[in-house]
Amino acid sequence: MRLFICLFAACLPAASAFAQQVDETSLLNDKGEDTAILNYSAYKRSLSIAGVLQTRYMASLTKNVDVSGKNFDPATDKGITNSFLVKRARIMVRANVNDHFSANILVNLADFSGNPANKVLENAFIRYSLNKYFNVQAGQFRPFFGIEDALPVDIIRTLDFSNQYYAFGRNGWQSFQVGLSVFGDVTANGQLRYYAGVYNGNNRNQPLDDDNTKNLYARLEGTIGEHLTVAANGGTGSLGGTTTGNAYGGDFTGRIDLSHKWKLLIMAEWKSGTNFTAYVADTASPKPALSRYRMRGFYFFPTLRYEHDSPRMRAIEFSARYEYLDEHYRMDSNPRQTVIPNLSLIFADNFFATLQLGVALDFFKKDQPLTAVYSRNLAYAQLQIRI
């Protein structure tokens, strides 16, 4: 018995040492819990709802021009020269299924106030994010083909997007399209980024493509220093069975810190592209070559921002966007120039509550009576709330 006790006591130090050995292959944390993720189905799952409500009062400052910009004959048409309206009532739902898959749905309920055909639904896409170098999304979205596509859709720093944006959107180069897109960083520091994709090119909410040719686009974007970004865009495509056309352009955005309180924000963009809608609408026989139907535009958008930083007034912005657009510069050129001086009073950070006051001044080289191609001035007061 005495021999057995001695042998047991001799084994105790060895047993104690063995119990303190760290198992480097164990999946248990220091609390004895299993840290291995065996199912990523709901990893980082979340649901968020956001939106923007934009209400507006407009008044025409030009005789015999209504609030839509159309010249009218007062003998036969009284014309609506001032009006309140709801321009945007957007609701966006984003669902993160897990850390790789997400879905985004954006609708504009304000479209129900008019003819909602082919409207209302704006974004409707699924995104797969492998890492910062590779992301792919499929569905309905805005191709990254300029500054206004890259910026959040619910931040509008002046009356509206540029005339160029809407002109290129009507021709399938911008705005909401149905297709597939890939994007991500090229460099580890994120200073060089790429965007590329393929899509139908016949605009949003269409059940099918209107021809068998798909639009292709690419954008390369680089950041120089801390506050300057330059980019180049290019694309090819068609609309309604036309022959293949193209579009290309470049842009830059920058910020100059003048002082602790004052900042100068600058945006500028130039683009040229095929005007498919003008080609399709032309009834001439035979038609000129598609290469004759070209549009081009440029805008310069400086904004002087004062950081007020009081509890109720966060910032004040003074801006004056200048834009030049010619939708038929190779045939029947009639350029449109627009100047929009604007004052923004920002009551909540990141444009969550903003009051905007300004005037849109439009000048055409050749006015066309009884149409919207007519020089005019429009005053506006606009309140936008992000949620």
Residue 36: its pLDDT value, please? 77
Residue 1: its pLDDT value, please? 47
Residue 219: its pLDDT value, please? 97
Two tokens at 330? 């190779």
pLDDT digit string, tens, across residues 320-345: 999 999 999 999 899 999 999 999 99
CATH architecture type of domain 42-386:
Beta Barrel (2.40)
Whether the Cβ atoms of residue 376 and residue 62 lie closer than 8 Å to each other: yes
Residue 18: its pLDDT value, please? 41
Report the distance separating Cα 118 and Cα 277, nearest Å.
17
Which residues of the chain form beta strands (DSSP E)? 46-60, 82-96, 101-108, 121-131, 134-141, 177-185, 192-199, 215-224, 228-237, 245-257, 262-274, 294-307, 315-326, 336-348, 353-364, 376-386
Spacing of C-alpha 223 from chain mean position: 18
Residue 22: its pLDDT value, please? 46
pLDDT digit string, tens, across residues 213-261: 899 999 999 999 889 999 999 999 998 888 899 999 999 999 999 999 9
Question: Which residue shows structure tokens 């010619």?
Answer: 326
Point out the residues of the chain with pLDDT beneath 70.
1-35
Report the distance separating Cα 143 and Cα 125, nearest Å.
12
Helices marked H in the chain — which ranges?
2-19, 147-150, 163-170, 276-281
Closest CA to 221 of 208, 232, 235, 210: 232
Residue 7: its pLDDT value, please? 43
Residues with Cβ within 8 Å of 62's Cβ and at least 6 positions away in sequence, in order, are 375, 376, 377, 378
Residue 26: its pLDDT value, please? 43
